[in-house]
Structure 1
Amino acid sequence: MNYTLHQLQVFFKITQTQSITKAAEELYLTQPAVSIQLRNFQDQFDIPLTEVVGRKLYITDFGREIAEAAEKILNEVYAINYKTLAYKGQLTGRLKVSVVSTGKYVMPFFLAPFLKQHEGVELVMDVTNKAQVIESLERNEVDFSLVSVLPDTLPLLNVELMPNRLYLVANTDTKYPGQPYDWSVFETLPLIYREKGSGTRSVMEKFFDSSGIKLRKKLELTSNEAVKQAVLAGLGCSIMPIIGLKNELRNQDLRIIPVKGFPISSTWQLVWMKNKNLSPVAVAFLDYLKREKQTIIQDKFSWIEA
């Protein structure tokens, strides 16, 4: 056997994502590079690690056993690195965070200064939809999750970060006079939705259910970025968090349609399981947030108020 740590890391990520494409994205590698590493790793075993059925990748039973062993080896490598840094008096360890898709415009600004202060801390951040974020919490796969709508099925603790304001937006070719509309405007607009399980969609549907508005649903798309591109292309309007629209509004590619009672709001919250034993790194990050969050909000997000 002559496999490398890099091959173990690539194979383990493939088993986690069940996809060469997704593994490449999460490892910041090209798809061909991941395929080559998988092939070179497979060449060292007489038993298949993976199989493809109907263009879908599956991990064999033997492959899962190798993945479990790979995870243990990688964890030991991380432990060696952390112990070396800890010996030097540095805060060390891994901070695992899952973030709803729109949260990628929020969470990095709260993480970056902390990571710069503590070079021995390694960040693992997964960006996905709300349903999968909650699942990662339930499985105890992460230290924290960032959500804008709290689930009511889990015993959680939380720290509120900042408001999440949602506006009705359209591209600049859409002709609407600059006046506040009443809710009847939604009966005529082609509205683009996020997928079921999205926090943004949950806030939208709660608002519409409470107001009794009849809607025209035009499209349903699976990411905030996809919705934004569809609105830019003129396929319809959407209710979107302003946090992800800074450049488009500044460049006048998108415009806010004024509606009475808008924006509708939720709150960005960092959550964790109530019975979770937080690591020293996780405890340090919470302490840091409590001290610095207002400064970060003022420095990085004051443009929202403007």
Structure 2
Amino acid sequence: MNYTLHQLEVFLKVAQLQSVTKASEALYLTQPAVSIQLKKFQEQFKIPLFELVGRRIYITEFGEEVVVAGQKIMDEVKAIDYKALSYQGELAGKLKIAIVSTAKYVMPFIISDFINENRGVDLIMDVTNKAVVIKALENNEIDFAMVSTIPNKLKINRIELMRNELYMVGGKQYKHKGKNLSKSEFQKLPLIYREQGSATRLAMEKFIDSKKISTYKKMELTSNEALKQAVISGLGFSIMPLIGIKNAITIGDLQIIPVKGLPIVTNWNLIWLSSKNMSAISKALIDYVNNNKEALIAKHFDWMEKYE
């Protein structure tokens, strides 16, 4: 056997994506380059690693075993890289973060410079709903979480970042009359909700209950992006975080509908378990965020001030 780590890496990516085209995009290589490396890797074995059916690649039983073994090899190689960087005095290792879906409009701007400045840090970021984020935190599966509401049952430390404001929004076709939407008009609106477990849904339900508004649910969607598109199309109305609808409001696809008691205001928080055994990377990130959060927020989110 005389295959290279690069050939193994190419095979693992093709096996994962079941496509030479997708693998080439993921590896930033041309399709011919991926095909050549894949062919050279296969030549090292007398047993087929994959089968080509149409345009799709299917990994054989033997190929699956090579995938398992190959991933272990690549993990060990990565570990060597981490150790080398550590000996050079650089941060090295994995940083695992789980964030609620709306936080995807915030978190990348908070940590991008930190990740770019520390080339040995591999970021794994899961974007999901609040219930899943808190479960991952509770099970110690992640280093940090980003949420807008603090979990009551966990002992956590936190860094408060910035305001999270939720407004009632509708499509451009809606014609609003008067200063604030009346209770009777509110009750006529078909509402679109996020799924159970979403912090946005919880905030919306609490607001409606507090105002004793009798309304009906038009539909339920599992992402803010899907919800935004549904509102833009005229399917209904919703209470949504301002951070995720900036462009749609700017170009006029969405409009904020004034309602007494809105916006709902919470705060984005970077949180971690108080009992967490913090790695050098985690400690460095905490220092970085504490020292730079005001400048980062001013740089990337000053546009929100005109809505306050």
Q: 1:250 to 1:202 in 2, by over 3 A?
A: same
RMSD: 3.4
Amino acid at match of 2:170: A
Alpha carbons 1:9, 1:74 under 8 Å: kept = no
Tell me the equivalent position of 1:305. 305
1:4 paired to 2:8: yes
* SS of equivalent to 2:141: coil
Tell me the equivalent position of 1:222. 222
* SS of equivalent to 1:4: helix
Q: What do the CA deviations read for 1:133-188 (whole angstroms, capped 9, x no partner)?
A: 12221232211111112222322222111111000001111111361224443211
Q: 1:28 to 1:257 in 2, by over 3 A?
A: farther
Tell me the equivalent position of 2:125. 125
Q: 1:152 to 1:115 in 2, by over 3 A?
A: same
Alpha carbons 1:191, 1:236 under 8 Å: kept = yes
* SS of equivalent to 1:164: strand
Tell me the equivalent position of 1:96. 96
Aligned pairs for 1:1-306 within 5 A: 4-8=8-12, 72-177=72-177, 179-306=179-306
In the TM superposition, residue 28 of structure 1 has moved relative to its aligned partner by 5.2
User: 1:68 & 1:145 partners in 2: Cα distance?
Assistant: 30
Alpha carbons 1:183, 1:259 under 8 Å: kept = no
User: 2:283 & 2:300 partners in 1: Cα distance?
Assistant: 24
Alpha carbons 2:191, 2:218 under 8 Å: kept = yes
* SS of equivalent to 1:278: coil
Amino acid at match of 1:280: A
Amino acid at match of 1:286: I
Alpha carbons 2:8, 2:70 under 8 Å: kept = no
Q: 1:280 to 1:161 in 2, by over 3 A?
A: same
Work out which of the two has the higher radius of gyration on C-alpha atoms and give 1 or 2: 2
Moved more, 229-238 or 201-210: 201-210
Q: TM-score, normalised by structure 2?
A: 0.78
Alpha carbons 1:232, 1:253 under 8 Å: kept = yes
User: 2:94 & 2:151 partners in 1: Cα distance?
Assistant: 25
In the TM superposition, residue 214 of structure 1 has moved relative to its aligned partner by 1.2
Q: What do the CA deviations read for 1:254-296 (whole angstroms, capped 9, x no partner)?
A: 1100011110122111111221111111110010110110111
Tell me the equivalent position of 1:54. none
In the TM superposition, residue 247 of structure 1 has moved relative to its aligned partner by 0.7
In the TM superposition, residue 71 of structure 1 has moved relative to its aligned partner by 6.0
* SS of equivalent to 1:174: coil
Q: 1:8 to 1:254 in 2, by over 3 A?
A: same
User: 1:256 & 1:169 partners in 2: Cα distance?
Assistant: 5
User: 2:10 & 2:221 partners in 1: Cα distance?
Assistant: 35
Listed as ranges, the gaps of 5+ residues in structure 1 are 47-59
Alpha carbons 1:232, 1:254 under 8 Å: kept = yes
User: 1:216 & 1:265 partners in 2: Cα distance?
Assistant: 24
How many positions carry a matched residue from both structures?
280
In the TM superposition, residue 20 of structure 1 has moved relative to its aligned partner by 8.0
Tell me the equivalent position of 2:54. none
Alpha carbons 1:169, 1:238 under 8 Å: kept = yes
User: 1:277 & 1:107 partners in 2: Cα distance?
Assistant: 22
User: 1:286 & 1:182 partners in 2: Cα distance?
Assistant: 45
User: 1:70 & 1:149 partners in 2: Cα distance?
Assistant: 41
Moved more, 87-96 or 280-289: 87-96
Q: 1:190 to 1:119 in 2, by over 3 A?
A: same
Listed as ranges, the gaps of 5+ residues in structure 2 are 48-60
User: 2:155 & 2:71 partners in 1: Cα distance?
Assistant: 29
In the TM superposition, residue 69 of structure 1 has moved relative to its aligned partner by 6.2
Tell me the equivalent position of 1:52. none
Tell me the equivalent position of 1:57. none
Q: TM-score, normalised by structure 1?
A: 0.79
Amino acid at match of 2:197: G
User: 2:216 & 2:75 partners in 1: Cα distance?
Assistant: 50
* SS of equivalent to 2:123: strand
User: 1:218 & 1:247 partners in 2: Cα distance?
Assistant: 24
